[in-house]
Structure 1
Amino acid sequence: MTDVVAGQPAAAPAPQPLPPRQRSSRGESFRSRIDAATPPERDRAIDGLRALATLGVIVGHWLVGALVVQPDGALQISSPLQTLGWLGPASWMLQMLGLFFLVGGYSAVASQARAQSRGESYRDWVLRRFVRLGRPVVAAISVSAACLLVLGAVGVPTGTLRTWVVLLVQPFWFVLVYAALTALTRYAVAADRRLGAWAALPLFAIVAAGDLLRYGPWQDAVPSWVGLVNLLPGWLFAYQLGVSWARGRLVRRGWWLLLGGGTVAFAVLVLAFDYPLSMVGVPGAERTNSHPPSLLVPALAAIQSGAAIALHRRLNRLLRAPGLWAGVAVVNLAAMTIFCWHQVPMVLVSMGGAVSGEVPGLTAAPEDLGWVLARLAWIPVMAVLLAGIALLTRRFEGPWDGLARGYRLLAAILAVVFAGFAVALY
């Protein structure tokens, strides 16, 4: 870090590059400090799985999302999955929300136990978790409102502004679902006490019943809102597995049952019952596996959970390496900030590309393999931009006690402006 000195120095010497050994030692010092600051009892594998799930979702969205430039210069949301159906199986590896919820359930058990030992009530614990989830969301909405006002004033097409709003808000459903599951932690623990690791099975059955109503012989007589029945149990399935895992279940034999059973269920659903190949929504498709979740979601979550439990010890040993652990720790420290902002770099980079018209892998229509290869080359650019955004906005993920009241009031006003802006665009 450089010191900030008032006034402008005369004839300041040009900064000299650090010798290779010094640069290396600084990197090693950073990694060593993070490693030394980590409590010995910290379960590094859980943090590693959370980081993997976060990055998987982000790369998945960047790969299957496209912003195509229109004749008026506006960016419109599209997807290569519409024209390149063979990309669907890639979403099996990149859709890791089941893994995220597994880790969430595991971590919630330990967190709630620590809160209880401090004398904190369950209600206060839930509210504190809600606040932690909400701060990055409010920050992303407020800062985006200010950016949209500026962009609109300088003439950025309304369609592009609408795309920003949609892509920013789109991931927030996850935050709402995660908050709901957090509030259900006590009941997930109670279910585990009564049923053990089998507590997740009734949730799987509920989703199966919901799919039967939606896609069975009588689907024409069933209202479309019936699919919402799957919303909580579809995602609670993995969260319940995480709760059971934290309570000592699934460790010896349960992981192979999850891995094997999930694989069989997944294969049967795709091959025999024609479930869509993509784990994410495809614009214009009649059926989707994600909103609300179909039975394919808990089936994939079972596979991911079984693999995570099986590899838990090896991953813990692997993350004893300071370099790997430093990367995982950095992602975890800003996980919610990264998640809330990760669609915006795609908009910003595409806005830059739109100046030149149709740029392969960016603003051109995703119609062939060439687009996919070009998009892979653009992903590092988006990653660098996301890292910069996270660096600037990460502070809002922590307590806002040190933030002046005026700034907090401004954030609230901008959040209201964003809501009004979104309503006006639609």
Structure 2
Amino acid sequence: MKTSTPVRALVRRIEARTPAHRDRAIDGLRALALLAVPTGHWLLGGFTRSADGAIHNASPLSAFGGLAPVSWFLQMLGIFFLVGGYASVLSFRRHEGSTGAWLKGRLARLGRPVLGVTAVWAALLPLLHHGFGVPGDTLRTASTLVIQPLWFVGVYTVVTALTPLCVRAARRLGVWAAAPLLGSVAVVDFLRYGPYADAMPSWLSVLNILPGWLFAYQVGVSWGEGRLNRRHAWGLLIGGAALFAALLVWCGYPMSMVGVPGETRTNSHPPSLLVPALAAAQSGAAILLRDRLGRLLRRPALWAPVVVINLSAMTVLCWHQTAMLAAAIPASYLGGASGAVPGLVGAPDSVGWILARLAWMPLFAGLLVLIGRYARGFESPWTRAGAVRRGLAGVLAAGFAVFALGLA
């Protein structure tokens, strides 16, 4: 009973500080989408060990194609963009200053944690390599994983900057403002996968990055503007699910929503038409379940974790791969000659690996909490950081990006 007292006190304190007008359902959806990111990366990502002791990326999806539907439920970035659009409308409406000042504040909140994690890793790389003898290929694998979720921040930054345009489009066209974005992705997919695919340039797929992710954000903006009702939500749910199924069954789209090593096509990097189709279905379901979720989160014990997760959103996004690597890199030295530690290092090609990985995931979560105690400071305004320190962090971050992208 004594150990639970601080937790109960925290729950009561969070409940007491929550404004009556707070939209708990929106925060709940954001927390759910956020938790899906580390869960997906931890569950569907693995490592093999080469003869020189270096670890390399692998995925159980290569051996277990039947796990692909799991990625449908863990790929919840559509919900994240939906809620982001909704919340941006409310924030934009409340802001009393210029649009530029509003954007500057929003973008700074996204940029500080990214700058922090990349600067820290830039300092860690030489220490791990020269101080502890970690192989260079291991560091490249780690750098790739650390930078992997940060593409989202870049896209989200651009999308956020387009909020004023999205608001104007929503006020004029309502939920239909998102339709041209869906059509744009469909046209690009037809060109790159259709009968003339061999004649198309390789960079064509890049054209899908912005409309593919802006689709759900625009739906969220229309929702925030009050231009989306339950009839529209049912249309999104049914239409999105039907399009999603048609693309899989008749159009030959890959089953997995995430990239699988060895496959030439991927649905998410850059997004294919399957991404906005899934986002439409998820958005429709989220809008329909909003009131029920809001009532559920009136319970203080359920609401408190949502608040904690939302307050640490960028920390979770930026540091969850580091938490997994903090377990996997030391484990690569503990597996004897083979270097295999079930569920951590070793080919993810057996049911035993899957069960072992599930058993390791609480450790990843614990490491993330521990890292977050120190890393969460990057989310706060750097009021005490002078120009020299900010400049140094920027240089370190740039150096890490060059290394991670294979440019050095």
| Number of the residue aligned with 2:45 | 65
| Number of the residue aligned with 1:360 | 342
Whole-Å Cα distance in 2 between the matches of residues 247 and 421 of structure 1?
A: 43
Whole-Å Cα distance in 1 between the matches of residues 300 and 209 of structure 2?
A: 39
Task: Choose from 112, 117, 121 the match for 2:98.
Answer: 121
The 8 Å contact of residues 162 and 425 in structure 1, kept in 2 or not, is answered as no
Question: Which amino acid is 1:72 matched to?
Answer: D
Whole-Å Cα distance in 2 between the matches of residues 419 and 261 of structure 1?
A: 40
Pairwise CA distance, 1:411: 2.5
Does residue 52 (structure 1) correspond to residue 29 (structure 2)? The answer is: no
Task: Choose from 178, 185, 202 the match for 2:180.
Answer: 202
Does residue 37 (structure 1) correspond to residue 13 (structure 2)? The answer is: no
Pairwise CA distance, 1:285: 1.0
Whole-Å Cα distance in 2 between the matches of residues 190 and 423 of structure 1?
A: 37
| Number of the residue aligned with 1:383 | 365
Q: When the two structures are superposed, what TM-score results if normalisation uses the length of structure 1?
A: 0.91
Tell me the SS of whatever aligns to 1:53.
Answer: helix
Residues 395-422 of structure 1: CA deviation (Å, up to 9, x unaligned): 1101000345664454234324424544
Residues 215-243 of structure 1: CA deviation (Å, up to 9, x unaligned): 11111111111111111111111001100
For 1:26-425, list aligned pairs within 5 A.
26-115=6-95, 118=96, 120-153=97-130, 154-355=132-333, 356=335, 357-403=339-385, 407-419=389-401, 421-422=403-404
Pairwise CA distance, 1:251: 2.6
Tell me the SS of whatever aligns to 1:253.
Answer: helix
| Shift in alpha-carbon separation, 1:39–1:290, aligned structure 2, 3 A | same
Aligned-pair identity (%): 56
| Number of the residue aligned with 1:6 | none
Tell me the SS of whatever aligns to 2:22.
Answer: coil
Question: Which amino acid is 2:282 matched to?
Answer: Q
The 8 Å contact of residues 64 and 81 in structure 1, kept in 2 or not, is answered as yes
Larger Cα Rg: Structure 1 or Structure 2?
Answer: 1
Q: When the two structures are superposed, what TM-score results if normalisation uses the length of structure 2?
A: 0.95
Whole-Å Cα distance in 1 between the matches of residues 305 and 407 of structure 2?
A: 39
Residues 230-270 of structure 1: CA deviation (Å, up to 9, x unaligned): 11111111001100111113233111111111111111110
| Shift in alpha-carbon separation, 1:344–1:313, aligned structure 2, 3 A | same
| Shift in alpha-carbon separation, 1:418–1:228, aligned structure 2, 3 A | closer
Question: Which amino acid is 1:108 matched to?
Answer: S
What stretches of structure 2 of length at least 5 have no aligned partner?
A: none
What stretches of structure 1 of length at least 5 have no aligned partner?
A: 1-19
Residues 94-133 of structure 1: CA deviation (Å, up to 9, x unaligned): 0001010000000000111111xx2x11112112211110
Whole-Å Cα distance in 2 between the matches of residues 332 and 422 of structure 1?
A: 28
| Number of positions where the alignment pairs a residue of Structure 1 with one of Structure 2 | 403
Question: Which amino acid is 1:132 matched to?
Answer: R
